[in-house]
Structure 1
Amino acid sequence: MGIVIISPNRSTDVWESEIRKIDPNIDIQVFPNIERYEDVSVALLWNHPTGLLSKFPNLKLICSMGAGVDHILADDTISDNLPITRIVDPKLTFSMSNFVIMGVLNYHRQWPRYQKQQVEQKWDMSQPEIPIHIGVLGVGELGGDLIRKLQALDLKVAGYGNSVKEGLSYPYYHGGQLQDFLDQINVIVCLLPLTPDTEKFLNKDFFLKCKKGTYLINVARGKHLVEADLIDALDQGQLSGALLDVFLEEPLPQQHPFWRHDKIQVTPHIASVTNPKAAVPQIVNNYHNILNQQPLTNQIDRARGY
């Protein structure tokens, strides 16, 4: 039995190489050049074609090639009995926190303003800092690490999540306390998992609940955001700006209004990128675990969606 790698329009060479370094005996097939569907026991996926997995009669495990699994759960043809695992990598957390801190500090110290003023040769020392109180939506592994690092910078921060959490070192809100959370903050960082409850979470009603002039950073998933509602909130002054790393369609189409909006900064989904060298040992370990009927590592809770 072997592994199939399904990641359309992306090179998988490094993934194949790393798997063979650890276990050269594993049979590897790569989409779309699959000849022996019956020989596959583990599928390694990123944005696979919906329904494709039904062709593998002996599939026992699905592994995401990243920390997110929403691209897998979106395929309702996948059996509920198939376990799903994700990648947990300290480097993913490290990179994500650094990216968000960069965005927070650039807003706090008005870096886009000074870049513009340099072009204009304008010397303006007025109001060099915007007072900020940061709110993090989603306080799991990524959100928790970010909050700790923001606290180390002596920045005011609060968290919001779906469930009750106790013993935290920062103000935390959950469930129906969203308005109380938003009343405290003027910088929002979205790190929510993507589930049916959080899809389109960042919408018109949400933005109207925010303090006027709030700044948005979305590094979670494009589907969290209603893009037209964001543009309206920016144009109406309800939000002051946005840093976006994730989008409904990627790559972002050339004619998309985000490219040209003067209050939006765009980055190409690079806040945190999976490192195959760190990810592949987890995948190979779970490949052997599933064949030997041993417990899996980093298995998701399908009911919760992460």
Structure 2
Amino acid sequence: MRLLQIDHILVISPMYNQLRLLIEKENLLNQFRFLPEGELSESDLRWADALAAFNLKGDLDYSHLKWVHSLGAGVDRFLYQKPWPENVLLTRTVCSFGQRIAEYCLSYILKDLQFHDEFHARQREKNWQPMTPKMLGEQKVIIYGTGEIGQETAKSLSQFGVEVYGVSLSGKPKEYFKEVLMVDSHFGKLSEVDYLINTMPLTEQTAGFFDERVFEQVNDAGFINVGRGASVNEGALLSALNRKQLRFAVLDVFAVEPLPSEHPLWNHSGVVITPHISAVTTPEEGAACFLDTLRKLEERKPLGNVVDWNKGY
């Protein structure tokens, strides 16, 4: 790890005040400026050696910075369809995202298996009609993306006996997956699985990935998207729901956020919408990961959260 002299740091975030309180408690020698999103200026950037933020303003020049840290797990807002200056180190936040997303996915799978919606509807009708819930250990799940978040989700599900398959660019075996398939060879597995979970980052390769080719192979499965909304062709998703190839879709991310009020996904009976909350960066975790990365940089220790800007994650 090369030595980076970080004296001036900008922190740009909707939660900048909470981050200020947490970071200033550390009594660091670095100088900080804490600003809300939208108030970052060219003069701020000229002052700074480093920047921590969720997003980058498109009309500013970041090339003279030494280090940029994403306060979120994803970095598509920094890299997708944008050039990245080779001399600028890019890191990302690593915290409880994997566990949060695992629990989010597990909650909706259990809701489906335990017939929550059906029993609630029968309760309103005062209709005593038993149904036997299904077991997690009888299910097959395919997770797209086998990185930290995908692997943590696979770990949680496999502990309940779920048969978990993964899909990645390399097809490299990973713990907690029965098998990891390469992107080009996963189609044959789709007709067997009960649930598809997307945890992939948004890159040139994953944009529009879930399209007719994928959904036409699925047989009455549930789809959960906690990756990025632009990975899904929304027209193909709606068609798959209407044709009953997909039994339901749980969507936490969308190509346009907030999801426009006129969008047909809002009113579809087979869709559950949540407002990008499956893996929220808390001020405490965001500050902790940023401070840990800063200390390691200053002490020239190895970093586990460096982004490969060529790959986009």
In structure 2, relative to structure 1, the CA distance for the partners of 1:110 and 1:33 (3 Å cut) is: same
Q: Distance in 2 between matches of 1:33 and 1:15?
A: 16
Contact 1:173 1:181 in 2 (8 A): no
Q: Distance in 1 between matches of 2:121 and 2:167?
A: 34
1:203 maps to 211
1:112 maps to 117
1:166 to 170, 173, 188: 173
Q: Distance in 2 between matches of 1:124 and 1:109?
A: 14
Give the letter for the 1:98 counterpart.
E
Secondary structure, aligned partner of 1:164: coil
1:235 maps to 242
1:182 maps to 190
Question: Deviation string for 1:44-73 (max 9, x for gaps)?
Answer: 121322132x0x574111110111111100
Deviates more, 1:66-75 or 1:108-117: 108-117
Question: Deviation string for 1:139-179 (max 9, x for gaps)?
Answer: 11111121122121122222221113236451221132111
2:103 maps to 98
- TM-score, normalised to structure 2's length? 0.87
Post-superposition offset of 1:271:
0.9
Give the letter for the 2:86 counterpart.
D
Runs of 4 or more, structure 1, over 6 Å off, are 291-294
Deviates more, 1:247-256 or 1:60-69: 247-256
2:200 to 192, 205, 215: 192
Q: Distance in 1 between matches of 2:292 and 2:255?
A: 33
Structure 2, unpaired ranges of 5+: 1-6
Deviates more, 1:21-30 or 1:239-248: 21-30
Deviates more, 1:97-106 or 1:246-255: 246-255
Secondary structure, aligned partner of 1:43: strand
1:4 to 10, 15, 21: 10
Q: Does 1:262 align with 2:298?
A: no
1:223 to 230, 235, 238: 230
Q: Does 1:68 align with 2:74?
A: yes
Q: Distance in 2 between matches of 1:22 and 1:187?
A: 44
Q: Distance in 2 between matches of 1:287 and 1:246?
A: 30
Q: Distance in 2 between matches of 1:36 and 1:146?
A: 39
Deviates more, 1:153-162 or 1:69-78: 69-78
Give the letter for the 2:105 counterpart.
V
2:151 maps to 144
In structure 2, relative to structure 1, the CA distance for the partners of 1:82 and 1:267 (3 Å cut) is: same
Give the letter for the 1:202 counterpart.
F
Post-superposition offset of 1:113:
2.1
Q: Distance in 1 between matches of 2:222 and 2:174?
A: 28
Contact 2:63 2:88 in 1 (8 A): no
Secondary structure, aligned partner of 2:250: strand
Contact 2:167 2:181 in 1 (8 A): yes
1:132 to 130, 139, 156: 139
Contact 2:48 2:65 in 1 (8 A): yes
Q: Distance in 2 between matches of 1:265 and 1:167?
A: 30
Structure 1, unpaired ranges of 5+: none
- TM-score, normalised to structure 1's length? 0.89
Contact 1:22 1:281 in 2 (8 A): no
Secondary structure, aligned partner of 1:122: coil
Aligned length: 300
Post-superposition offset of 1:20:
1.2
Q: Distance in 2 between matches of 1:41 and 1:245?
A: 34
Post-superposition offset of 1:128:
3.6
2:21 maps to 17
Post-superposition offset of 1:24:
4.8
Post-superposition offset of 1:197:
0.4
In percent, how many aligned pairs have the same letter?
26
Contact 2:187 2:214 in 1 (8 A): no
Q: Distance in 1 between matches of 2:40 and 2:185?
A: 50
Question: Deviation string for 1:96-145 (max 9, x for gaps)?
Answer: 11111111111122222222222233332245438632111111111112
Post-superposition offset of 1:190:
0.7
In structure 2, relative to structure 1, the CA distance for the partners of 1:64 and 1:250 (3 Å cut) is: same
Post-superposition offset of 1:293:
6.5
Post-superposition offset of 1:302:
1.4
Post-superposition offset of 1:19:
1.8
Question: Deviation string for 1:186-215 (max 9, x for gaps)?
Answer: 2101111221101111112211122x2111
